Structure 1
Amino acid sequence: MMRWFAFFFFALGLSAMPAMAGVVMSLKTDAVVNAARVKLSDLVDIDAESHQQDEPLIKTMAAVDMGNAPLPGYSLRFSRKEIERIIRASGQVKAIEWRGAEAVKVERLAKVFDSTQLAIAAESYLKQVLGNGQNQVVVETAERLPELLLADGKVDIKARNLSRAEAMHARVTVWLDVTVAGMFSRSVRVPMKVKVMEQTLVAKRDLLKGVTPACEDLLVLEMDIASLDGAALPADCSKLKGSLKRNIPSGTALTQNYLQLSNAISHGDTVNLLFSSGALLLESKALALANGEVGQRIQVRPAAATETIAAIVVAPGVAKVIGN
């Protein structure tokens, strides 16, 4: 009889203990998030067969980080297997009873961004790069900009650096980097049409190859220098250097492409040849055997020598022995 009573009270005690049932998760078919990171609670509805005892666990599991949210306009797919792997890797090993879908599609809550702000940003940047206070810069978008979807948050737009030479074309592409709430969102290509009305030098008459243009050969006219074949020259004829590499017809803008700058050293010149000897810098005369600009390598023949040596042009009429 005593044994029977003992067994009865032991069984009664077991029945009074809380059930150790697992967590029930119902996987959604679709989910929309409004944050940069996806949480488990975004993907599943979590319940427990014994909610009171499991409530702390439920809150912990709901906050499990599942990774980056997709960019607006894109989606991600999470399968049950992948979700369970992430949960277990987080240290939450409670048994899971799955219900609902086999996988969930995740999208980012987004809003349509006014693309005119992109055009304004690109126009403003090009005017800043190309303007000099004396010219007129006219820029406009060359194509209709696509619809841009962005997440909620403060939007900042920054143009990637362009040099004046890179921007000085009739058509140019400005790349804009867009950030939302301080986080990079995407880069946008903005094709632009450019006009830069500026005074430049124009041939007054037909000029032949080899001629060094003089002020009486030129006019100063306002033209769209962004459409020229080559970099426009300052509208000051007194500063021109070099001769024409090819004929230039009357009425044509004189660009850098037409000019052949005078060589720092020409073939047959007698040059000052520098070379080092210990702490001393010595100088002698040599015959240049080729034309050369500053920084170019040429062959020279030192005075009273029969062999040639290599030298670097360091200034007009001056070369330095290589490796010396």
Structure 2
Amino acid sequence: MSWKLALAPLALWAGCALAQGATVALDLRAAATVRGKDVLLADVAAIEGADARQRQALGAVRLGPAPLVGYAQDFSRAAIEAAVLARPLAAGLVLDWRGAARVIVRRAGTLVAGSELADVARKGLAARYGREYDEIELTPVGTVTDVQVADGRLELRPRETAGPLRPRTTAWIDVLVDGAVYRSVALPMQAKAWRTVALARRSLPVDAQVGADDVRLVRQEVLALAGQPAAAPAVGEHWRLRTAVAEGEVLLREQLVPTGAIRRGDRVTLLVTAGAIRIESAAVAQEDGVAGAVLRVLPAGGEAVVKARVIGTHLVAMDEN
């Protein structure tokens, strides 16, 4: 074995001993700004001495979570020293603490303009309700303030809105940083929507039959209406009204008797089946009912009401026992 090979382990041991006993200067800053979600030693102190690998390992020591944007967090020298000494990598090092006695840490942030939030809210609501109306107008209620969020990959994501569009609605925007929701913003919005509706050409009483000639079509703002406007009847189609409608009033779905429904007082055909025998007789409905519902009817010439199921237009049947 050559003398060079014999001395190699000794030189390696001497180098390790020197690194372990090296003095590391840690110069704390009075203030620091971090960009990540954690506060690291390298964020708050200048590290000198030892070797590059040890300085890198020391710099990666986590001191705690970063504060929210717009807030500050105070790290004392004692707390920082305790966090470093708790790591095995600090064993054998001589730490020379210098600089500030405490560090004020803030988190770097990005400002999201209120106008950008409002634009995302408008697009989200338009995508949700646009197919239901000919035109939609969406305006923020008041001034939309700017929002500060942490630095990172930014995404503004509108939430799905449930229920019908109303004159006053709230749009929620989730602000994501690096794929995680950082905060959520609520934006009150004033909404208007236009649709073609059917207006009564004349006053129409309860139970009136309404056809295409009884209405005229106009384009109107509809969110202020008391209910959902009804579609215009096709040529040859007739509606039946459950409430009276004044001239010029928009016909609403709630004012129409559903197709196949029976109203109290309607004359109906009552079917009674007994085995192979089927009997039809006239009756008068004593209450309202839609297809499939069971209601009370009074057979013609009878004195007692019976229960029957609605099976068609003006057609009911007694269930077999």
Q: TM class, shorter-chain normalised?
A: 0.5 to 0.7
The runs of 5 or more residues in structure 1 that have no matched partner are: 1-16, 274-283, 301-307
Counterpart Cα distance in 1 of 2:23 and 2:291: 81
- AA of the residue aligned to 1:257: E
Counterpart Cα distance in 1 of 2:105 and 2:227: 51
SS of residue paired to 1:223: strand
Query: Do the aligned partners of residues 229 and 151 (structure 1) sit closer, same or farther apart at CA in structure 2, a change above 3 Å counting?
Result: same
Counterpart Cα distance in 1 of 2:230 and 2:75: 61
Partner of 1:140: 139
Partner of 1:166: 164
Cα displacement (A) at 1:161: 1.4
SS of residue paired to 2:223: helix
Alignment of 1:108-119 (within 5 A): 108-119=107-118
State how many pairs are aligned.
Answer: 278
Alignment of 1:19-34 (within 5 A): 28-34=29-35
Counterpart Cα distance in 1 of 2:75 and 2:239: 68
Counterpart Cα distance in 1 of 2:71 and 2:272: 68
Counterpart Cα distance in 2 of 1:248 and 1:101: 81
SS of residue paired to 1:234: coil
- Are 2:47 and 1:41 aligned? no
CA contact (8 A) 1:263 1:291 kept: no
Query: Do the aligned partners of residues 78 and 241 (structure 1) sit closer, same or farther apart at CA in structure 2, a change above 3 Å counting?
Result: farther
Cα displacement (A) at 1:24: 6.3
Alignment of 1:179-258 (within 5 A): 179-236=176-233, 241=239, 243-245=241-243, 247-258=244-255
Counterpart Cα distance in 2 of 1:112 and 1:138: 27
- AA of the residue aligned to 2:130: G
Counterpart Cα distance in 1 of 2:310 and 2:120: 45
Partner of 2:4: none
SS of residue paired to 1:235: coil
Partner of 2:106: 107
Partner of 2:57: 60
Counterpart Cα distance in 2 of 1:202 and 1:71: 56
- AA of the residue aligned to 1:195: K
1:252-280 deviation line (CA, Å, top 9, x unaligned): 2222233343675788985799xxxxxxx
Counterpart Cα distance in 1 of 2:177 and 2:145: 18
Counterpart Cα distance in 2 of 1:154 and 1:176: 16
1:128-173 deviation line (CA, Å, top 9, x unaligned): 333349722222222211112234444332221135x522x22222
Counterpart Cα distance in 1 of 2:289 and 2:25: 82
Name the TM-score, length of structure 2 as normaliser. Answer: 0.64
SS of residue paired to 2:125: helix
Counterpart Cα distance in 2 of 1:103 and 1:148: 29
1:103-137 deviation line (CA, Å, top 9, x unaligned): 54432212322322222222223333333497222
Query: Do the aligned partners of residues 215 and 26 (structure 1) sit closer, same or farther apart at CA in structure 2, a change above 3 Å counting?
Result: same
- AA of the residue aligned to 1:32: T
Counterpart Cα distance in 1 of 2:62 and 2:292: 59
Counterpart Cα distance in 2 of 1:79 and 1:271: 90
Cα displacement (A) at 1:222: 1.0
Name the TM-score, length of structure 1 as normaliser. Answer: 0.63
Instruction: Give the percent of matched residue pairs that are identical in Structure 1 and Structure 2.
Output: 26
Cα displacement (A) at 1:33: 1.0
RMSD between aligned residues = 4.6
Counterpart Cα distance in 1 of 2:222 and 2:34: 50
Query: Do the aligned partners of residues 105 and 222 (structure 1) sit closer, same or farther apart at CA in structure 2, a change above 3 Å counting?
Result: same
CA contact (8 A) 1:272 1:318 kept: no
Counterpart Cα distance in 1 of 2:40 and 2:86: 14
Partner of 1:12: none
Counterpart Cα distance in 1 of 2:59 and 2:269: 84
SS of residue paired to 1:131: helix
